């Protein structure tokens, strides 16, 4: 996998492959997407530094937990308290080698 | 010339490794497959055929060791397959030879063997000096198959000593074509959501007159197939490989690097498989594959 | 029964990065206990849990803090003894040298009924060390186990090889190599981790074991890329057009 | 196993490990429970640590801590689309190693070192376990924790969870951080090699640069960018208020790359190898964010979890304050233990100690800064004005270009009058 940088932006997906993860089989963050359907601004999409929140073809909010940097932004920014947020179980999740 | 012993249980491997062996010395074949022995004995200087009822690695390696001693050979070549690695390890351990795996080229120099080999899951290529007594496992596709028949080689039949391992074998249930021999292979990965959806993959494979297979999780975790493509499974080198819904973990891509053309169909633009592909189709496989099948059918009718 | 498990500290190849000139940045690459090795250890600990094994000794070759860490992790998973064979640069040992160290240790501290290893390391993936250990010790090899069962002094494994599925059975002692499909290694609880903290790590050296070792002579190591065309075809909007483009390209390549 | 510990520290970051270090020094046997697979594996910061605190408590640290570079150059840039204005502060006098007052580091590695120090003193560090809850006894005293489903008892609990302190929220002593005073930092680690870094930044040996900037890709956004030189690497990143993300057109996942490709930065990191991408929250409320009662029956709160973090406008200080709060927590627990008590009243000595310490001295001094930093003028107008004025000053051709009229025009076009500027100046004087 190449991480040599060129003069164009690297997608966040690509950048996330450079960070080490010990992914747990179950998600540590659960999003109640029912609540999201009421939310007009959906700030999570803009705010998540890993780009894990997006909309599907039907305009429904989709969240994936693999690649979560555990920053906690979505927990704070969600105006509808739709994000049940916790840390992954011991030994799992993001593993910063530099930090 | 000093003898170079090739271990092979398959015709195609026997021909690839013969090409490699010729550059190193006098090729001698060792096999427990009678068919292979008969077909290839005309190409090798000598062929040892071991009679055995089952694949007991210890018993087979014992027979090979006897042959190595008899021939006073110092270079052994193996296919870089699971079985090849087992026999290479057992034999080299007993003989005190070094074993180098994942080799793509082997050259003899004044100081011994110089081997180029893949490492770090195929992400890197290392050049190593292997000394003068070594077993080398060669990656499929590194050498072209030779068709040259030499003079009628000698065929020696030997018996393997009974081993202590009981072996039960159930052959791979082959639906259609063998991926290791096909010109076209269609591979399915985790992007394929349900087992029933494999039908679409199989249809595409049969339209192209080729074989289908899957990645390791689909075979080992979900049980959708008996074998998989990758460094720990089947290593293939078809003319065309179509990777469908495959992200491209190094262990998978290393198994398909011998392919002439690789096509990847995946909706994740950042999937590493695109780095390994000649043609990367970015799109939903559930939309792309049906259209591909439709167009190929139209093309056939024309 | 006594079980010996050999584990390797491997580079996480998914995290391996390269300098512009292709030199691998190994110093910056995270290292972990081999995935398959961890499954081998899990099999051993399962035997202990089932009351079939009394001793589970875990051995690794190396001398770094990370080697210590994986041995502590092994204790936390349930190993009863951890051994570090001190070698400064274990990655430069040849497969044969590694096998000699493991088999010498087994001979010196044995007999062991079962010697378990991962079927291959995530980084080098040679898969020859287990077979070599078997032949050095002169015991049967059962390799590439997707499933392991031990009953009445015999071990049976199921293995998927190129041409089908094999079931191998043999009396113990035996060497068994385990694939990463064999099980899901346990996640230690805090009490396990707490206990592991207090356990000592035995140290020895290849010399003490009388194992003759040699280094492999690596002349160069460089990023490897198969030259590919990397033509992108966008099928997110117009699938029909994209597929036509693909078929045309494959026709021109002469592969369909 | 019915083991009971003196002290359980939740979180193996700088604050938690320091608490354990100082406790162990006093003869306690603290246990640090860290959810990451190794100490430091969940830690992220910008890149700089101040020396004074280590000088005080860790003799010999300059020889053994994982120091990347000693900071010799401080830079501050106001960045526009195509040009920037930079203030460069360099210490010219040759410095001995023990004279540098700050250094760059990777926090994961630094924390790993702190963990070793704590263990040397006799603390036990248990990575790989997540604390889910604090156990309260009948009298409402914290008496243990639940980690990955198992209960561990202790006389004292120290909460060192960092910015997302879920346990404090569960205890009801803290509410969720507010968007207005919380910022998201994103960061990239780029490998360039030591020699190349020295060449590009005009450095010698292991000297380093700390570079802070506003504007550029962050134009009009309350936040700043940073660049630190590490031994073989450069780290770049941006820190942006969450309320800004809410209000403005800004996509956090792209910010780091926009920063990297901005001409003011790209020239420094060109041809590097990207090694890691990370993100972390930080508090920016200063004194407003500090926990009013960082103590309670049987527990104390330290470091980031207690709000001991300081944004000076140029840099965010956390590690030094975390270490200091760990020392004071150890002090407080030791005192309480001598008296055989664990009630809130006895443990409140911690708060008094903190108030007398370097932590409060600084937080108090900078208490008006967060408000000042909310001024949009700083991010929206200042970069343009600065670049326009200096752009004129340094342009010479046949035209007559005087600076003053340009300044006046520039101010006018940004709708800034003297009164606004004067107010801003007064505010700045009170804050910085």
pLDDT tens, position by position, A55-92: 987 889 999 998 999 999 999 999 999 999 999 999 99
CATH number, position C84 = 3.40.50.620
Task: Show residues of chain C in contact with D3, CB under 8 Å.
Answer: 194
- φ/ψ of B141, rounded to 5, equals 90, -5
pLDDT the model gives residue C233: 94
- CA of A25, closest CA in chain C: separation in Å? 11
- Residue-wise pLDDT for B132-149, tens only, equals 899 999 998 889 888 777
Confidence of residue C148 (pLDDT cuts 50, 70, 90): very high
Segments forming the whole domain that contains residue C241: 227-256
CATH class of the domain whose range is B3-159: alpha beta
Number of domains in chain D: 3
Indicate the average pLDDT of chain D: 92
Residues B220, C143: C-beta atoms closer than 8 Å? no
User: Are D201 and D227 found together in one domain?
Assistant: yes
Segments forming the whole domain that contains residue D421: 381-431
pLDDT the model gives residue A28: 95
Residues A19, D256: C-beta atoms closer than 8 Å? no
Q: What's the mean pLDDT in B183-203?
A: 95
> What SS3 class is residue B279?
strand
Residues A47, D108: C-beta atoms closer than 8 Å? no
pLDDT the model gives residue B175: 67
Q: What's the mean pLDDT in D20-41?
A: 96
Number of domains in chain C: 2
Least CA distance to D145: which residue of chain C?
A: C190
Task: Show residues of chain C in contact with D129, CB under 8 Å.
Answer: 189-190, 193
Residue D407: inside a domain, yes or no? yes
Q: What's the mean pLDDT in A26-34?
A: 93
Q: Residue C236: how many CB atoms within 10 A of its CB?
A: 14
Residue D418: inside a domain, yes or no? yes
Residue C107: inside a domain, yes or no? yes
Concatenating the DSSP letter of every residue in C57-126 gives: EEEEE--SHHHHHHHHHHHHHT-SEEEEE--S-GGGB-HHHHHHHHHHHHHHH---SEEEEESS-SSS--
pLDDT the model gives residue D1: 45
Domain definitions of chain B by residue range = 3-159, 184-301
Per-residue pLDDT at C127 exceeds 80: yes
- Residue-wise pLDDT for D289-347, tens only, equals 899 999 999 999 999 999 999 988 778 899 999 999 999 999 999 999 999 999 999 99
User: Are C158 and C251 found together in one domain?
Assistant: no
Measured between alpha carbons, how far is B24 from B15 in angstroms, rounded to an integer? 15
B147 touches chain A (CB under 8 A): no
Task: Show residues of chain B in contact with A14, CB under 8 Å.
Answer: 270
Indicate the average pLDDT of chain B: 91
User: Are C191 and C243 found together in one domain?
Assistant: no
Q: Distance from CA of residue D156 to its chain's centroid?
A: 27
Whether B and D touch (3+ CB pairs < 8 Å), yes or no: no
- CA of B290, closest CA in chain C: separation in Å? 10
C186 touches chain A (CB under 8 A): no
Residue D227: inside a domain, yes or no? yes
User: Are D163 and D185 found together in one domain?
Assistant: no
User: Are D235 and D268 found together in one domain?
Assistant: yes
Q: Residue B297: how many CB atoms within 10 A of its CB?
A: 11
User: Are D142 and D41 found together in one domain?
Assistant: yes
User: Are C179 and C73 found together in one domain?
Assistant: yes
B192 touches chain C (CB under 8 A): no
- CA of C17, closest CA in chain D: separation in Å? 7
Per-residue pLDDT at B128 exceeds 60: yes
Q: What's the mean pLDDT in C142-165?
A: 93
User: Are C7 and C106 found together in one domain?
Assistant: yes
pLDDT the model gives residue C240: 94
Least CA distance to D271: which residue of chain C?
A: C20
Q: Which of these, D176, D266, D264, D233, lies nearest to A99 by C-alpha position?
A: D233
Question: Options 3.40.50.880, 3.40.50.1220, 1.20.1730.10, 3.90.1010.10; which CATH number does B184-301 get?
Answer: 3.40.50.1220
Q: What's the mean pLDDT in D272-285?
A: 95
Residues D190, A5: C-beta atoms closer than 8 Å? yes
- Residue-wise pLDDT for B3-51, tens only, equals 999 999 999 899 999 999 999 999 999 999 999 999 999 999 999 999 9
Per-residue pLDDT at D271 exceeds 60: yes
A66 touches chain B (CB under 8 A): no
DSSP lists the bridge partners of residue A63 as A53
Q: State both tokens at B143.
A: 């050498």
Per-residue pLDDT at C55 exceeds 60: yes
Q: What's the mean pLDDT in D405-430?
A: 85
Task: Show residues of chain B in contact with C168, CB under 8 Å.
Answer: 56, 165-168
pLDDT the model gives residue A1: 45
- Residue-wise pLDDT for D184-234, tens only, equals 999 999 999 999 999 999 999 999 999 999 888 888 888 899 999 999 999
Those of residues 70-129 in C touching chain D at CB distance below 8 A are 73, 76
Q: Which of these, A93, A77, A75, A78, lies nearest to A28 by C-alpha position?
A: A93
Residue C235: inside a domain, yes or no? yes
């Amino acid at each position: 996998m190449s991480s040599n940088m060129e003069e164009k932006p690297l997608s966040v997906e690509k950048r996330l492959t450079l960070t080490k993860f010990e992914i747990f089989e179950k998600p540590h963050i659960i999003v109640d997407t029912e609540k999201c359907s009421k939310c007009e601004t959906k700030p999570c999409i803009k705010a998540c530094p890993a780009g894990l929140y997006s909309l599907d073809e039907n305009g429904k909010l989709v969240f994936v937990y693999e690649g979560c940097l555990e920053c906690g932004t979505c927990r704070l920014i969600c105006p509808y308290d739709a994000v049940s947020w916790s840390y992954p179980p011991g030994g799992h999740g993001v593993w910063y080698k530099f930090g | 010339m000093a003898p170079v012993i090739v271990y092979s249980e398959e015709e195609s491997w026997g021909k690839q490794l013969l090409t490699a062996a010729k550059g190193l010395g006098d090729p001698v074949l060792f096999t427990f497959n009678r068919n292979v022995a008969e077909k290839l004995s005309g190409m090798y200087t000598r062929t040892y055929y071991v009679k055995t009822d089952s694949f007991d690695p210890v018993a087979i390696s014992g027979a090979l060791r006897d042959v190595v001693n008899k021939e006073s050979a110092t270079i052994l070549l193996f296919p870089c397959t699971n079985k090849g690695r087992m026999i290479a390890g057992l034999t080299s351990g007993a003989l005190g030879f070094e074993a180098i795996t994942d080799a793509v080229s082997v050259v003899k120099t004044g100081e011994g063997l110089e081997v180029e080999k893949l490492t770090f899951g195929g992400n890197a290529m290392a050049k190593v000096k292997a000394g003068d007594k070594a077993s080398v496992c060669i990656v499929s596709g590194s050498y072209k198959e030779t068709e040259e028949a030499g003079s009628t080689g000698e065929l020696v039949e030997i018996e393997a000593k009974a081993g202590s391992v009981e072996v039960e074998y159930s052959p791979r249930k082959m639906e259609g074509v063998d991926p290791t021999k096909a010109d076209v292979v269609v591979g399915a990965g985790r992007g394929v959501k349900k087992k029933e959806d494999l039908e679409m993959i199989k249809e595409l494979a049969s339209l192209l007159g080729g074989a289908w297979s899957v990645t390791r999780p689909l075979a080992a975790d979900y049980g959708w197939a008996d074998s998989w493509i990758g460094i720990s499974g089947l290593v293939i080198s078809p003319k065309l490989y179509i990777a469908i819904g495959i992200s491209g973990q190094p262990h998978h891509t290393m198994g398909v690097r011998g392919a002439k053309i690789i096509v990847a169909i995946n909706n994740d633009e950042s999937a590493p498989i695109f780095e390994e592909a000649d043609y990367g189709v970015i799109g939903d496989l559930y939309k792309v594959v049906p259209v591909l099948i439709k167009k190929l059918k139209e093309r056939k009718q024309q | 029964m006594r079980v010996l498990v050999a584990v390797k500290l491997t580079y996480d190849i998914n995290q391996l990065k390269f300098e512009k000139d292709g030199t691998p940045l190994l110093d910056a690459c995270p290292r972990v206990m081999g995935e398959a090795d961890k499954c081998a250890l899990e099999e051993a600990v399962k035997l202990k849990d089932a009351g079939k094994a009394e001793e589970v000794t875990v051995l690794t070759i190396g001398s770094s803090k990370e080697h210590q860490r994986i041995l502590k992790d092994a204790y936390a998973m349930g190993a009863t003894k951890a051994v570090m064979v001190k070698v400064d640069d274990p990655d430069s040992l040849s497969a044969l040298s590694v096998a000699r160290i493991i088999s010498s240790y087994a001979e010196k501290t044995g007999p062991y009924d079962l010697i378990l290893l991962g079927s291959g390391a995530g980084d080098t993936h040679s898969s020859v060390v287990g077979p070599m250990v078997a032949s050095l010790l002169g015991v049967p090899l059962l390799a590439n186990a997707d499933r392991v069962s031990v009953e009445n002094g015999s071990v049976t494994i199921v293995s998927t090889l190129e041409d089908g599925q094999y079931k191998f059975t043999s009396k113990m002692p035996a060497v068994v190599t385990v694939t990463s499909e064999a099980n899901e290694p346990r996640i230690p609880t805090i009490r396990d981790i707490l206990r592991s903290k207090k356990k000592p790590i035995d140290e020895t050296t290849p010399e003490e074991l009388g194992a003759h070792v040699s280094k492999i002579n690596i002349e160069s190591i460089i990023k490897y890329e198969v030259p590919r065309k990397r033509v992108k075809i966008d099928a997110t909007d117009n699938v029909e057009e994209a597929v036509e483009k693909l078929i045309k390209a494959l026709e021109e390549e002469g592969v369909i | 196993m019915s083991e009971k510990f003196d002290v359980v520290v939740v979180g193996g970051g700088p604050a938690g490990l320091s608490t354990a270090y100082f406790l162990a020094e006093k003869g306690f046997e603290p246990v640090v429970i860290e959810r990451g697979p190794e100490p430091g594996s969940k830690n992220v910061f910008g890149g700089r640590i101040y020396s004074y605190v280590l000088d005080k408590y860790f003799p010999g640290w300059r020889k053994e801590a994982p120091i990347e570079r000693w900071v010799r150059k401080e830079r501050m840039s106001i960045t526009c689309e195509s040009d920037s204005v930079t203030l460069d502060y360099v210490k010219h006098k040759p410095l001995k190693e023990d004279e540098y007052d700050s250094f760059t580091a990777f926090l994961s590695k630094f924390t790993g070192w702190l963990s070793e120090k704590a263990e040397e003193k006799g603390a036990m560090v248990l990575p790989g376990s997540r604390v889910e809850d604090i156990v309260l006894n009948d009298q409402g005293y914290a008496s243990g924790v639940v980690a990955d489903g198992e209960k561990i008892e202790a006389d004292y609990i120290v909460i060192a969870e960092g910015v997302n302190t879920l346990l404090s929220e569960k205890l009801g002593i803290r509410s969720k951080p507010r968007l207005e005073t919380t910022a998201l930092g994103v960061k990239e680690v780029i490998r360039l090699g030591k020699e190349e870094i020295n060449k590009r930044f005009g450095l010698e040996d292991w000297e380093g640069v700390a570079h802070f900037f506003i504007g550029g890709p962050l134009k009009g956004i309350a936040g700043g960018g940073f660049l630190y030189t590490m031994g073989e690497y450069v780290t770049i990143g941006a820190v942006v208020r969450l309320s800004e993300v809410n209000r403005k057109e800004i996509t956090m996942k792209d910010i780091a790359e926009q920063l990297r490709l901005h001409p003011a930065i790209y020239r420094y990191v060109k041809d590097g190898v990207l090694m890691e991408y990370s993100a972390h929250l930080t508090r920016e409320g200063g004194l407003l964010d500090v926990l009013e009662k960082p103590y309670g029956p049987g527990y104390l709160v330290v470091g980031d979890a207690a709000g001991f973090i300081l944004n000076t406008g140029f840099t965010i200080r956390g590690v030094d304050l975390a270490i200091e709060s760990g020392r004071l927590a150890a002090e407080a627990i030791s005192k309480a233990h001598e008296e055989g008590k664990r009630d809130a009243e006895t443990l409140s000595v911690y708060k008094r100690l903190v108030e007398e310490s370097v932590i409060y001295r600084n937080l108090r001094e900078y208490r008006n800064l967060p408000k000042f930093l909310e001024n949009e003028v700083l991010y929206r107008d200042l970069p343009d004005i600065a670049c326009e004025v200096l752009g004129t000053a340094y342009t010479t051709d046949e035209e007559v270009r005087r600076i003053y009229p340009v300044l006046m025009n520039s101010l006018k076009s940004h709708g800034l009058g003297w009164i606004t500027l004067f107010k801003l100046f007064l505010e700045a004087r009170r804050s910085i």
